[in-house]
A and B are shown apart, each in its own frame.
Chain A
């Protein structure tokens, strides 16, 4: 009877649907992203190959047919190569003439018309070369394409542009201008000629050794495809992470930050909670509300405000600290000053949480306990130590555990205060020294590797280490709380 009713209420197909749905959702929203980011930690991912664009497909397509294409249009290509070679040789000749003319000219004999004619001739020849090279697929060969590309750029920027700027807007040219031309422009012309000579050499070799051209084009395509592909690199990223002192230093610094910031946060929250639950404080409800403000403000805004207040020479707090205590806090220069400010800001951000938890716990203590203790003759401190403290210890410990997690993942505070600076030479025993940011906490380290260096593989592996550390931490607490019976405190 009951079984039938249950089947009626919870039909099997609905159950299956729900199970399948939740498994799918879990796979999509949880398992897949986690698996993917773990996978990235073992690859050479960069901005270029992590999500390759449409070009990869194009290249692979060309690569598949390259030999056939190049073999079938052999005649056109060789012809193009020879034609380009002649044009470039003419260009080099023209450039030689230009150099000679610039070298011999005096302000009286310098002919702008000659320069402009040579320029026109050079440009038209090279443009034709460019089109031949592209149309006849010679550009697949880096021995042709790369020096030609360099020559084009150098000619425009290092020859024509300075010539324009030195000579073009002058009413008359001085000896000084000519000296500048000889010093700046003539060597650049030589440079362009050298690049063009490289192209000539490559074009010549294509005529002589066509198979060599195919090989070179294929190799270059392969190299380009390889660059766009993601590669599995095994433990390489982890070897790099621990290959010098930076990441180990970052871990140590984070652990240090936990050991300093957590006691501060908990102490501040606890003290404030005790003060503002005391019936002796008038208007405590309102004050308690106001004390929650750090919690309500966006972290971005409040941490930036702290940074501004600590700006050397100008920040309000900086000035006050110097005037009252005579201390100079240099967050951009001094490793430990910055570290101290992180602690202060972290404390300010987190005390409302600890305070709220503690206030709730204090509110839960039956008044009778305290009254009974007082009747028995206990004094204030004794009441606190023997009655209040044991009763709030569990919630406070719980808050401490959670806020420790926050300190382990310190990110916004170091990022916004000074991006984990200042930089210096970091060294730890057992690791080679390296220059890096002295307060770059673990999470910030991972972030900077991704966003500054675009080294996604290294970044993912750093985060994997962070997750492992958090896991160890979580297991330790689980063990202490449940296995060692802390929960019965």
Chain B
């Protein structure tokens, strides 16, 4: 029996398979996905999907289940951003779909998703994951505070920041959680990077990265509340109307909408004609090795993954009810055609158009730590000794981070 036989049998209920589907999502997302899972089961009565919405420590749980050979109770399908691909594929925890789907199907699939989303699922020439949404950060402005303006260039943003920066009154020019992930757009704007997978090169102390960090400390931080650059504090500033704009991702939209009446989402403004490119994460559905032992279960898992990522109704539900940004070509077109109905999703979508996919390689785990240390250390210097000292220390701290990373790569 091949895959297509199985599909027709699943539709009529001639087979009976149970698969486990795991996610690690927020409660409002779980509710939406739960509805979608039920819809799938009513369309394919032969497949029962046991859905677990908030799995703690999901990656470790899946790995442990597979290593222990517990195929009944481990995820057969799960979803997360594509940066897990390298680790999961290198270990053999996820299944290459190229192994089981006909060549033509794989080629058709390539045309169904936007390019960056499809390539996010490909690793060492094999298709592992099917994309259903993307995420990345963008500039979000409170239109009541910016006078309806959404800055397109950094100098426009700077005007707004200058006007709003008044620590005496507790107002600031911009809210921005500062960590290696969130400041990456500034790094890329100047041509820098942390780790280039294609060339296996570390660029933490490259000229572009150094320039980007210097720009952060000399031109952005002076308008910010720098004593607490964490997620909660910065988001609160924006929610309470104490900062006109924030740089953040779609995951904060539900919270922001509760407090801020009129918002607009746009790409992070250009800096003297240079485009800041944030990291993008593509949410993929993967089939695990636990599904491989039983052919029916494997096919059921692949079917579910295909249906979930290719069904326009599903993607629309995910857009409408949970604010996910679609990556299926037909739905991106739909989004553009209904621009006035989806201003927020469209804003994130256009920010993603200029994004850099997060590296898939396990090596990235060795990059985050040293960069975070250098950045935090610069923040400490900025707060204690001022802007000039921080700018002057950028190069040497990034040099140190670079050598720490290279050292770790050698092991």
Contact = CB atoms under 8 A, between A and B. Distances in A.
B115 A157 contact: yes
B114 A161 contact: yes
The main secondary structure of chain A at its interface with chain B is: mixed
A161 B116 contact: yes
B387 interface: no
B299 to A, nearest CB: 19
Contacts of A437: 373, 376
A228 B124 CA distance: 17
A54 B411 contact: no
A141 interface: no
A130 interface: yes
A149 B369 CA distance: 28
Interface stretch (B10-18, B23-31, B47-55, B88-96): B88-96
A415 interface: no
The main secondary structure of chain B at its interface with chain A is: helix
A487 to B, nearest CB: 45
B158 interface: no
B401 A435 contact: yes
Nearest to B393: A425
B336 interface: yes
A127 B107 contact: yes
Nearest to A448: B369
Contacts of B408: 453, 455
Interface in B60-85: 63-64, 66-67
Contact of B66 (A54, A149, A434): A54
Contacts of B92: 53-56, 58
Interface in A295-330: 311-314, 330
Interface in B114-169: 114-116, 118-119, 122, 124-126
B101 interface: no
Interface size on B, as a range, is: 35 or more
Given A54-B93, A314-B236, A453 B365 contact: yes
A153 B122 contact: yes
Nearest to A169: B336
Interface in A164-182: 164-165, 169
Given A134-B125, A149-B124, A157-B115, A228 B90 contact: yes
Contact of A53 (B107, B225, B229, B289): B289
B91 A312 contact: no
Contacts of A425: 377
B98 interface: yes
Interface stretch (B201-209, B255-263, B318-326, B378-386): B378-386
Interface in A403-439: 421-425, 434-437
B366 to A, nearest CB: 7
A212 interface: no
Contacts of A474: none
A131 interface: yes
Contact of B400 (A53, A313, A333, A434): A434
Contacts of A139: 124-125
A313 B377 contact: no
A131 B101 CA distance: 13
A314 B370 CA distance: 30
A412 to B, nearest CB: 18
A133 interface: yes
Contacts of B116: 156-157, 161
B228 interface: yes
Contacts of B114: 161
A374 to B, nearest CB: 55
Interface in B342-375: 353, 357, 362, 365-366, 368-370, 372-375
B198 interface: yes
Interface stretch (A44-52, A96-104, A200-208, A284-292): A44-52
Contact of A435 (B103, B225, B366, B374): B374
A130 B93 CA distance: 23
B233 interface: yes
A437 B377 CA distance: 8
Contacts of B381: 424
Contact of A48 (B103, B125, B362, B383): B362
A157 B117 CA distance: 9
Interface string A209-239: 0000000000000001001100000000000
Given A48-B91, A53-B92, A165-B353, A311 B115 contact: no
Given A311-B232, A312-B228, A425-B377, 16 more contacts: A48-B90, A53-B66, A53-B92, A139-B124, A145-B125, A156-B118, A332-B229, A332-B230, A333-B227, A333-B379, A422-B377, A423-B376, A424-B381, A434-B400, A435-B397, A453-B408
Interface of B: 63-64, 66-67, 87, 90-93, 98, 103, 107, 114-116, 118-119, 122, 124-126, 170, 198, 225, 227-230, 232-233, 236, 289, 336, 353, 357, 362, 365-366, 368-370, 372-377, 379-381, 383-384, 397, 400-401, 408, 411
18 contacts: A48-B87, A52-B67, A55-B91, A130-B125, A139-B125, A152-B119, A156-B116, A312-B228, A314-B233, A332-B227, A332-B228, A333-B379, A422-B376, A423-B373, A423-B376, A423-B380, A424-B377, A454-B365
